[in-house]
Amino acid sequence: MAFILSWGTSSCLSVIQNRACNTAGATPRAVHSALQSNGRGLWRCARSTPALLRANRFRAQPFSPSASPKFPFSSRLFATAATGSGKVAVVTGASRGIGRAIALALGEAGCHVVVNYSASEAAATAVVQSIKRAGGEAMAFKADVRQPEQVDALFTAALERLGRVDVVVNNAGITRDTLMLRMRPEQWQEVIDLNLTGVFLCSQAAAKVMLKQRSGRIINIASVVGQIGNAGQANYAAAKGGVLALTRSNAREFAPRGVTVNAVAPGFIATEMTENLPQEQIQKTIPLGRLGEAREVAGLVRFLALDEAAAYITGHTFNVDGGIAIGAGN
């Protein structure tokens, strides 16, 4: 359940004084005054808010659009929030971990989900059954997204059975971690082939469908490692950094036809991929002090894939990382 502070906190905003003026007519004194007033006001609010919360002067209340008649737009916004009714979503690497959570989230939102897997048929079937138990529709399809002909078969099957493709989540990925000096060429190539070339091939196949439809949303699952690097993951960092660049390029290329492309960069998420890592050591590097959960990544993907409020967002990367990459560029 989401929470907001009571409307009394709007008093914090009142300290921000407006010193706006035309650029040509701005005087040094006016600019200095605006900076001083706004800076001091925001600093005082930020400094006082924790104390006010501890004193219970501002009570956290369940958020409800209907509870705020002053802002009728919020009711319209949340009334149209993420619904996937009638939409078709293809999720690669959807049999476990983050991919599984994304497939479940989209299925629960009303999408017909194509659960892609490469080897884990039983796990993919279980995801399909979970979506159906939740009232959604799903089908499993085996395809190695490193292989162009198998990617073509995946999208052909989705079109033949379901008639369209509205959402593609490029999630399939692997790690082959080792120090740079010890990394064998095949360890490098394995990760590049799946984590980067696989995204390219699926994005290309998706674009052929979506550009004709003049609609569609592509979400690429990248990683904070592609932004800040990580010792022992040169191959993974290079692949995920490539995904971020590919996201921006495709967003520019596909935008004229109404297709959006965005990336989500998870940090350390509690999945099979991270279960053997030194948990306590990692948590010390994360400002929020814990690993993330797959459902937290899935919630952001669901927003980008289905919400009307995300229709004007393209070419951007959104971090779900507990703050580990604060200040890093996209």
d(Cα 82, Cα 108) in Å, to the nearest integer?
A: 10
Q: 217: which residues sit within 8 A by CB, 6+ positions away?
A: 166, 167, 168, 259, 260, 261, 262, 304, 305, 306, 310
Name the architecture of domain 82-320.
Answer: 3-Layer(aba) Sandwich (3.40)
pLDDT score of 27 more than 90: no
- Of 52-61, 169-178, 207-216, 281-290, the poorest mean pLDDT is in 52-61
d(Cα 117, Cα 126) in Å, to the nearest integer?
A: 12
Residues of each annotated binding site for NADP(+): 93-96, 171, 236-240, 269
Helix (H, G, I), strand (E, B) or coil at 304: helix
Q: Which residue has the higher pLDDT, 327 or 266?
A: 266
Helix (H, G, I), strand (E, B) or coil at 164: coil
pLDDT score of 39 more than 80: no
Residue 150 burial (10 A CB sphere; 0-12, 13-18, 19+): middle
Q: Which residue has the higher pLDDT, 66 or 174?
A: 174
Q: Which residue has the higher pLDDT, 12 or 287?
A: 287
Helix (H) / strand (E) containing 302: helix 294-306
**Segment 236-291, tens digit of pLDDT:** 999 999 999 999 999 999 999 999 999 999 999 988 777 777 788 888 889 999 99
Q: Which of 165, 191, 172 is nearest to 94 (CA)?
A: 172
Main-chain dihedrals φ then ψ at residue 320, nearest 5 degrees: -125, 85
CATH 3.40.50.720 positions along the chain are: 82-320
Residues of each annotated binding site: 93-96, 171, 236-240, 269
pLDDT score of 109 more than 60: yes
Name residue 262's beta-bridge partners: 219
pTM: 0.79
- Of 17-21, 267-271, 305-309, the poorest mean pLDDT is in 17-21
- Of 38-47, 86-95, 279-288, the poorest mean pLDDT is in 38-47
pLDDT score of 75 more than 50: no
Q: What is the pLDDT of residue 252?
A: 98
Among all residues, which ones are annotated catalytic? 236
pLDDT band at 327 (very low <50, low <70, confident <90, very high): confident
